[in-house]
Every structure is written in C-alpha cells, then in structure tokens.
Amino acid sequence: MAHSSIARATSGLSPSVLGEAWMDWAVHLATSPGKQMHLMEQATRNAHTLLATSLGASTSGTAQGVAATAKPDRRFTSEGWQKYPFNVWAQAHQQNWQWWQDVMTDVHGMSPAHEDLMAFVAGTLVDTTAPSNFAMTNPDVIAATIAEKGQNLMRGAQNLSEDIRRRAGVTQPVGPQPFEVGRTLATTPGKVVFRNDLIELIQYTPTTAKVRPEPILIVPAWIMKYYILDLSAQNSLVRFLVAQGFTVFMISWKNPDASDRDLGMEDYRKLGVMAATDAVLSITGAPKLHTVGYCLGGTLLSIAAAAMGRNEDTRLASVPLLAAQVDFTEAGPLRLFINDSEVTMIEDMMAKEGYLSSDQMAGAFALLRARDLIWAPAIRDYLLGQRGESFDLMAWNADPTRMPARMHSEYLRKLFLDNDLAEGRYLVDGKAIAVSDIRAPIFAVGTEDDHVAPWQSVYKLHLFADTDLTFVLTSGGHNAGIVSEPGHPHRHYRIADTAADAAFRDPAEWMADNAAEDGSWWIDFASWLAARSGSAVKPPPMGAASGKYAALCNAPGTYVMQR
C-alpha cells in the first residue's frame, strides 16, 4: 500500500531508480577532476560565444556554438527566431542543453545505464525552460498576440479549460466525430466469427473472385485497439491484403478490467493466438496459415510460433513480425526506467485496481518524447490558440486499452527485464522454448524512427532465427512506418533476404549493403506472401454455418468499443 501511494504520486516512476543513478553520477563526477575542468572550460567557451553572438561580433572563423553546428532544432526554425534577442535565447538554450548532456555523460567509471538515465532526465528538465515554452520569450506567440490583439491567448485559455474538463470526464464530445470506429475507422467489411473471454476474431469479406488457400491471421498489440492495421479506407493494411486476394482474419482484444487481473501471458497465447489459429483453420479448411504479429502481438506470436515449432506443429506457412522484438537488451528509451525497483513499483500500483490504466501508459510514452508530445501541443493549443488537425492515426492513438496486472508484470519481468525469450528461459507448458524453434520463414519489419522497438533491436532476430528471414527497414516511426500504404508521399524502404545458413551481418553493414527504394513495403510484402501461398481458390465461407465459429455480428465487433 505504501509503494502504491508513492507510485500514484510519482506517476509510477520509482524514486530509487533515479536516486541510484544520481548517486553513481555524483560520486564519479566528484572524483573526476579532469571532467570537472573540461566542463568549466566548456561553460566558459559557451559564455564567450554567446556574448559574441549577442554583440554581433561572431564570425565564421570563431566558435559558433551549438545553434550553428548542431542539427537544426524544429522549435527555433521560424523567421522570428532568427532575430535578436530571440536568436540569442535559442542559442543559449541549446548550449545549456548540450552542456548538461556533457555533464551527465562520459563520466569515468559511471554505469552506461545510469549515464543514459541521467542524460534523459537532465535533457527533459532543461527542455522545460526552453524559451519557446513561454509567451514572453516566443516570437511566434508574441507576433500572434499583437496581430490578434490577444485573442490567441483567450482561445488558448478556452482550449486548456476544455482539455481539463475532458480529461476529468466532465465533458464528452457531442455529435459525430471526424474519426469514429465503425464509421470512418475500422470500416473494412467483415464478421466476428469467434468470441471468448479475451478476443473477438474478425473475418473480412473477400473482394476478389478467388483467394489464396492460406489465410492470414493478424495478431495486433493489446496495448492499443486493433484497428491501427485497419484505419481509414485508403491506409488499411487489412483492406490492402484483402484486395490482393488473401483471406484475412484479425484478433480484436478485450479491454480488460479489474476482473481480468489474473490473466497472464499464457492466457494471451492460448485464448489469443492458439484459439484464433484453431478457428481460422477450422473455418477455411486450410492446412496452413500465415500469422502476422505487430508490436507486442509480434512478440507473443514469436512465443507461440516457437512453441509450435518445438511441438512439431507445422500449421504455420510464415511468420511476419512488424516492429516486434524478441530480444529486449536494446529496447530503446523504455529501458531507461526498467529495473527491479521500477517493475516492483508498477506491480504495486496495479495491485489495487488489477490493471495498468491507459492514462498511466500514455503519460510514460509522452514523457519519452516530451518536445513533440507535450511542449509542442501545449504551445500550439494554449499559447497560439490553435487546434491541431485531427487525423486517423491520432484518433487511434487516443483510444488505448488497459493492461491486466498479471500479464503486464510477466511481460516486464520475463521479457523486458530478464530477457527470458532470447536467453532460452521462457517456459511454455513447463518447457523452455527458443526462437530458433520457429520453422516457418519470417518476414520482419523495422522502422527507422522507432522509439518503442528500435530497428537495430528488431534486427537482432537474425541472431536467433534458424530459418529464412526477409528483413525490411522502412521510413517512419513505430506506427507511421507500418501504416505506409502505396502512394504515401516521401516513403522509402530497404529489403533483403537472409538464408537460414547465411553469415550474419551487423545492422550497419546490412544497411550499407541495401539501397533505399522509394515507395511502400506493402507491395513487396504481398508478393512475399503470394510466393509462399498456393494457387488461388474459391473464397471460404464467412464463418461456420453453425457452432462456435458461426458469425456473431458485423465487424468491427463489440470488444473494440469497450472503454
């Protein structure tokens, strides 16, 4: 109870995690006089450069400071930021940010994990003081305020009030919204053909006279609603695959509540992947199926596929994994806070309600990208008095789910913290499994700007797979890189096949060997699936005529509507 109270006060962050990192930094910095002298020298040089800039004496032959040499900062690119004194304030902030990064890193003897955490915390705190965050030091806000006679600030105050009331549950949107599930989102026609306590299984209506005999089962992540892969009509991966002549099924996860607190990873495997596999093959009469896993769903699918391989279950024709990890040693910024203390804190926080709420998860993810997800929207909405245009991916991102206490604890401990799957300790039915037990060919996709599953981490599948593996590296982030439909502007990708007996190439070598191609990886994906499928046949029925696989209702079903 004490830990739970602390967790609520700290938004689930363990104070001891930061305390340990700070002590490691403080002790080693205190005993590093060379580092201290370097920092003092850098601070003096920064002050000189800033003074020269402010007096207009800076020349190309002298030290230019961070603003002139670093990657352009989107916060300070408008015309107003190029004028005095705003250019000086922007440069001062960037110098200050970089100096604090130098303070927290490259400290002799300090743990790399603690360095990363302290650098992140320092950067986040310094960013709270950015001149762009305040009306009196942001030239764009000042210009808008003068031009609109303060109406932007009035609208901003109204926007802030609306957001506070909405988050508190006092008000709800009235009337039809631009993006609604079943009306403008998740609209690919289909039927719910199976339901249990954890999933609804959706079978999509064919649009071609004939289909490939091997159906496709998509296993999405359960941290959000399934329809990331069936967004609007023009960017729905489901609709695209159906149009290519595939019979497509999708799992729609239940939004768990307190009564589901004891559902674990094994329940998600059995009631999710395995139950859906049985249903798909029973309905279609096919001997094999393609199974596609996205994000957490991909990790779960790799567990299920490994167990099937170990048990000589040969029903998988292929195992495509989209932005999914099997090794968690380099799992991006989320690794900053994951240790025994933090996991214990999260478990204590979940103990009362029986789940991790969507608000708690959303806050953690927003903190990892505070510039883009906290400060930029705040400036736009509350200082400029504007509202960002809504789009389908944003609407989906605002529709999260809860996480059952037991499942989330097992995921964090067994996979994220202990890395049991990659190291051969993950048990299914009391026996260890290994990714090398997967016998079906694998199609893996990583995204260049992924902060949830960095592509180098996804690429590590090459170290564990013992089968033919096709790897794709696509532009975009964790979500936008996957939702990359044909015709999407400014998209590119790299693709290469690696045979089961081929020598290993590290990520940098692989990237250098494979040139980027313009366009969408979806087209290559459909061709890859077709090459591993049989000749087209008549479409199967929509569910069984009767029994437990009979059609229950129209897509998108009922579980996706749960709040």
552 touches 201 (CB < 8 A) = no
User: Which of 219, 443, 189, 175 lies closest to 320 in space, CA to CA?
Assistant: 443
- Pair of tokens at residue 450: 């992924």
Give CA angle at 401 (400, 406), nearest 5°: 145
Cα distances from 164 to residues 13, 168, 169, 387, in angstroms, run 23, 6, 9, 15
What does the radius of gyration of the chain's CA atoms come to, in whole angstroms?
A: 26
3-state secondary structure 295-355: CHHHHHHHHHHHHHHHCCCCCEEEEEEECCCCCCCCCHHHHHCCCHHHHHHHHHHHHHHCE
Candidates 67, 144, 279, 295; catalytic one: 295
CA distance 252 to 418: 29
CA distance 408 to 264: 8
At 215 the three-state DSSP class reads: coil
360 touches 429 (CB < 8 A) = no
Q: Is 295 annotated in the active site?
A: yes
The residues pairing with 316 across neighbouring beta strands, listed in sequence order, are 289
Q: Map tokens 């300790």 to a residue.
A: 425
3-state secondary structure 390-459: CCHHHHHHCCECCEEHHHHHHHHHHHHHCCCCCCCCCEECCEECCHHHCCCCEEEEEECCCCCCCHHHHH
- First-last CA distance in the chain: 27
Catalytic residues, by residue number, are 295
